Structure 1
Amino acid sequence: MSDAKDIYDLTIVGAGPVGLFAAFYAGIRKAKTKIIDSLPQLGGQLATLYPEKYIYDVPGFPAIKASDLVENLEKQIAPFDHDTCLEEEVQNLVQEDGYFRLETSKGVHFSKAVIFAIGNGSFQPRRLTIDGAEELEGKHVHYYVTDMNKFSGKKVAIAGGGDSAIDWALMLEPIAEKVSIIHRRPEFRGHEHSVDNLKKSAVSIYTPYVIDQLLVEDQSFKGIQLKETKAENVKHLDLDSLIINYGFTSSLGHLKNWGLEVSRNAIEVNSDMSTNIPGIYAIGDICNYDGKVKLIATGFGEAPTAVNNALHFIKPDTRTQPMHSTSLFEGKEAKAL
């Protein structure tokens, strides 16, 4: 039995935009809240896959850059003392004596109710599968860019042909000493505007090439060997860091094992966002109901519904329709916002 101080009111699994807004609303309701996400930073797919892309379906913003939306959501939850656990994947969930036990890749967490906001599932990067890659991971081989400044003055290569790889190449160009991008096909898969900007930049482009070998001398990373696809030509690149952007895989396998009703790669929910397991709720792209529209704006609307009903589940005398947020913040704007 866990000590009571370790048991949270709400645990939100997923730190994308919808999960972050749920955390904000949980803060308004003064719920003791924890956020768990498998990625190394807040923001989910927006922050990881396309931070420089614009989003057009957020009410009140004709267009907003993905990274700016995430930054605003982080500011919105900043006044609340939520605990955040990153790079943790929930691997098991069981009910114990009136609360849930969440077992992750790093530890165990306890919560009276759980809200899943995991988008299309738990994200893991597609890794480089050549000798030595695993040993260099986190030192010279990277799958995430959480701080561009750590590449300042470095020779950096990015492997990948999609929008995210192009975005990182363009953003790192003014920071790194030299930036290269490697793609196995002759043409990139990114948006035309991004590809045009890439070709106009100082980024060195290697197509169609694949990474053939990691070059290590005396246990020191020196660079990579490239091999031209469908040919025998090879090139050596002197590097300090290699960023792999081959995309991500997502998994919903655990959800079925926990007894949740899953269909069409989503958790089935009721109108109050509850699942077939009392105390567990789902919001955003991971949930499904009749008439569901998969937009960020839809998830933003589902978040308060889930929070309110989760708190009512925890404490039945709690109102499911609390005061308007403007009333809850009245007289506290300067301090909280």
Structure 2
Amino acid sequence: MKQDIYDIIIIGGGPAGMYAAFYSGMREMKTKIIEAKHELGGFMRTYPEKLVWDVGGIEPVRCETIIHSLIKQAKTFDPKIVFGQEVVGMKKRNDGIFILTAKTGEKHYTKTIILATGRGITRIQKLTVEGADRYELNNLHYTVTNLNKFKDKRVLISGGGDSAVDWAIELARIAKEVYVVHRRDDFSAFESSVTRMKSVATAFVPYTVFRLHGNGNKIEYVTLQHVDSKETTRIEVDEVLVNHGFDRNFGGAILEWGLDSEEYGISVTPKMCTSMPGIFGAGDIVTNEGKIRLIAGAFNDAVLAVNSAKLYMDPTQSQMAGVSSHNDRFAEKNDELRQKNRNSTYATVSEEEIIGTDVTLS
């Protein structure tokens, strides 16, 4: 049976993996993405309604919109995309070809690998309060999928990181009241966000959620307890949102491949090279001294990783792809877009002429 060998296989379909697929297409590499779940987007799928401000050149936009744009961009050069396969095994043949094995038993063959598994296998850290699980189908939430659920409601948010603070700011625009409960005096979110949050929400620090009180499967009020004095306070609520972070397993079985790693991921050089030649990394799975854990940082990682993979295959190649405005890979696509825009303009003009005629006749 003939083996289909790729130039590059990207493990993970989050922002780093998707942008790597796009950029490897610019570099004319035969590309495959292997995603363990059944959709692209990675960890960004956990906050689809959240407004994202820190992607260069883009106005604040819902995360779900960014995901859709990234998916469309990733498919520009028609990479092979495989869903529902968690990569667990890796071997390197004598001829330099890597063999990746998924949990399903399927094997994939490639000249280079980019690890872009993000935060790896994640599990939400749930509220450790007796009986909390009984409210999960009603008004106890760990993610926000519909903002309207919180409109004109009294919302209590438990957590002190970026997600908790950002959601407090976002929900304050539509909620009746927002309360933020954090077990420490200091929040771990960006300083400017914490300042803004405190101006639109009521913060209880250092407090924890001590007890949930409900009627049936709905929380009606929450008892908070001061960490030091043990004093309690009762807050009436309509919705409770828990943002305690995630238990992370960076890379899952990938960590058993023998790659150098640290507490927060696989170790890479400034050019995204791992300790094993031919394997590169991008996004939250990797770490180095200058690591930037932003979506914008994932894009930069992806470019560096693809360039390194290209040079690994052929050291005589250029250090990077030509910029899109002068890249021949886009010539035909640019012509298609220009023609589409012309047709759209003509259709609009024709419609306006018709409307104009109707108005005149009437």
Per the normalisation by structure 1, the TM-score is 0.68
Report what 2:353 is aligned to: none
User: What is the aligned partner in structure 1 of residue 224 from structure 2?
Assistant: 227
1:332 corresponds to: 333
Count of aligned pairs:
317
Change over 3 Å in CA distance of 1:210–1:309 after alignment to 2: closer
The alpha carbon displacement at 1:109 in A equals: 6.7
Aligned residue number for residue 89 of structure 2 = 93
Cα 1:226/1:270, change in 2 over 3 Å:
closer
Q: CA deviation at 1:304?
A: 3.7
Match of 1:173 in 2: 172
How far is 1:329 from its partner? 0.9
Name 2:359's counterpart in structure 1. Answer: none
- Distance in 2 (alpha carbons) for counterparts of 1:231 and 1:131: 18
What amino acid is the match of 1:12?
Answer: I
Kept after mapping to 2: 8 A contact 1:153/1:177: yes
User: SS of the residue aligned with 1:307?
Assistant: helix
Question: What residue is the counterpart of 1:210 in the other structure?
Answer: 208
**Measured at CA, do residues 225 and 268 of structure 1 come closer, stay the same or move farther in structure 2, by a change above 3 Å?**
closer
Say which SS state the counterpart of residue 328 (structure 1) adopts.
helix
| Cα separation, partners in 2 of 1:127 and 1:73, compared to 1, 3 Å | closer
Conserved? CA contact 2:51–2:61, under 8 Å: yes
Larger proportion of helix: 2
Question: For the pair shown, which has the larger CA radius of gyration, 1 or 2?
Answer: 2
Match of 2:18 in 1: 20
Q: Distance in 2 between matches of 1:189 and 1:287?
A: 21
Partner of 2:155: 156
Uncovered stretches (5+) of structure 1, i.e. residues with no partner: none
Deviations 1:290-335 (CA, angstroms, capped at 9, x unpaired): xx6324677545424533665798xx79995586342211131375
Tell me the TM-score normalized by structure 2.
Answer: 0.64
Match of 2:33? Answer: 34
Partner AA of 2:218 in structure 1: F
Shift of 1:245: 1.5
Corresponding residue number in structure 2 for 1:133: 132
Q: Which residue of 2 aligns with 1:78?
A: 72
Which digits, 9 at most, give the CA deviation of each residue in 1:74-105, with x for residues without a partner? 525414166586xx8957334499631233xx
Letter in 2 for 1:20: M
Cα shift at 1:231:
3.1
Stretches of structure 2 lacking an aligned partner (at least 5 in a row): 339-362
Partner of residue 291, structure 2: 294
CA contact (8 A) 1:116 1:281 kept: yes
From the superposition, tell whether residues 301 and 319 of structure 1 become closer, same or farther in structure 2 (CA, over 3 Å). farther
Name the structure 2 match of 1:198: 197
Identity percentage over the alignment? 28
How far apart, in 1, do the equivalents of 2:115 and 2:60 lie?
21
Structure-2 separation of matches of 1:139 and 1:4 = 50
Q: CA deviation at 1:145?
A: 2.7
1:141–1:205 CA distance, 2 compared to 1 (3 A): same
